[in-house]
Amino acid sequence: MDYDKTNMAAVYDSGREYRPETLRQWLDLFSAHVPKENVSRIVDLGCGTGRYSNPLADHFEADVIGIDPSEKMLGEARKKSAHRGVVFKQASGETLPVEENSTDLVVMSMVFHHLREPRSTASECHRVLREGGCVCLRNSTVDAIESFSYLKFFPSVRSIIQEQLPTRDRVSSTFEEAGFHTIAHEIVEHRNSANWADFAEKISGRADSFLARIPDDEFDAGIAALRDYAGSVDLARPVVQDIDFFVFQR
C-alpha cells in the first residue's frame, strides 16, 4: 500500500495507539535479547509515524534513524519528535541511507508484509549492522490468523490477510538466506485495547491497511456489528492478538 496516496498517516496513531504498559512490554522484550549496553545506534526501519523512534532512543540511550518510504508518515513523525538523538529519512528498505557496519540494532515493527523486496531488505540490514548486531522484528503472520479479533465482522479481510501476510517460515528463511542466524522466536500476546468498546472506536478510524482494502459498505456494516457486540460483552475484557517476534543476529 502506498500510504502517501491515502489519509492513513492522519489517523494512524489514534487507530493504532498503545497503552504505556504495552509499549513497555515490547521495549523490554527487545532489550531482553539485545542488551542495552551493546546498542549505541538503531535503525527504526519502516518507522511510520515514529511511534517507536523516541521510545527506542530513550530505552536504549541510543541514536535512532527512523526510515520510511512515506513522506506523509514521516511528516507525522517529525511533528512529535523532540528527541535530539532521533532523525528521520525517506527511503525504502531495499536502499537504506546508512553506512555499512555502522548500526547495532534494526527494529522492524509491522513492516515485513509491506516490503516490496524482503530479501533485498534483509541483505541491506546485514550490510548496515556491525558484526553481532541484531534485527528485532515483530509482525503478524498468517499462522496466527485466527487471533485477528475483527475477522468475524469483516469476512472478506480473511482472504486479504492470507494473501498479504507472510508465514513464520518465510520470515525466518528470508533473513537466514541473507546471512543471519535466528536466535529467538516467540509468539507474544499483544493487547490491542482495554475492552471491545475501545477496540471498536479504534477500528472505526480505518487505520488498518487490511481494513482499508475492503468495500465501504462491508466496512460500515462490520463496524455496526462490532459496536453491537462491544455493547454485549464484559467491559473489563481486553482485546488481544498474537504477534510473532523474531531476533536475527548478524
Does residue 159 lie in a domain region?
no
In this prediction, residue 184 carries a pLDDT of 97
Structural domain containing residue 126: 3-142+166-194+240-249
Q: Annotate 40-86 with three-state secondary structure.
A: CEEEEECCCCCCCHHHHHHHHCCEEEEEECCHHHHHHHHHHCCCCCE
Does residue 208 lie in a domain region?
no
Does residue 158 lie in a domain region?
no
Does residue 182 lie in a domain region?
yes
Does residue 13 lie in a domain region?
yes
CA pair distance 34, 56, nearest whole angstrom: 12
- Read off the pLDDT band of 17 (50, 70, 90): confident
CA pair distance 39, 133, nearest whole angstrom: 9
Minimum mean pLDDT among 5-14, 73-82, 122-131, 228-237: which range?
5-14
In this prediction, residue 7 carries a pLDDT of 65
- Read off the pLDDT band of 20 (50, 70, 90): confident
Contact present, 188 and 242 (Cβ < 8 Å): yes
In this prediction, residue 80 carries a pLDDT of 80
Q: What percent of the chain has pLDDT over 70?
A: 93
Please state the rounded mean pLDDT for residues 166-188.
Answer: 98
Total number of domains in the chain: 1
For the question of whether the overall pTM of this predicted structure is more than 0.85, the answer is: yes
Does residue 229 lie in a domain region?
no
Tell me how far the alpha carbon of residue 151 is from its chain's centroid: 19
Does residue 134 lie in a domain region?
yes
Measured CA distances, 92 to 4, 54, 189, 201 (Å): 13, 20, 29, 32
Q: List, for residues 93-121, the tens digit of each pLDDT value.
A: 999 999 999 999 999 999 999 999 999 99
> Could you tell me which residues come within 8 angstroms of residue 162 by beta carbon, excluding any fewer than 6 positions away?
142, 145
54: domain CATH number?
3.40.50.150
Does residue 152 lie in a domain region?
no
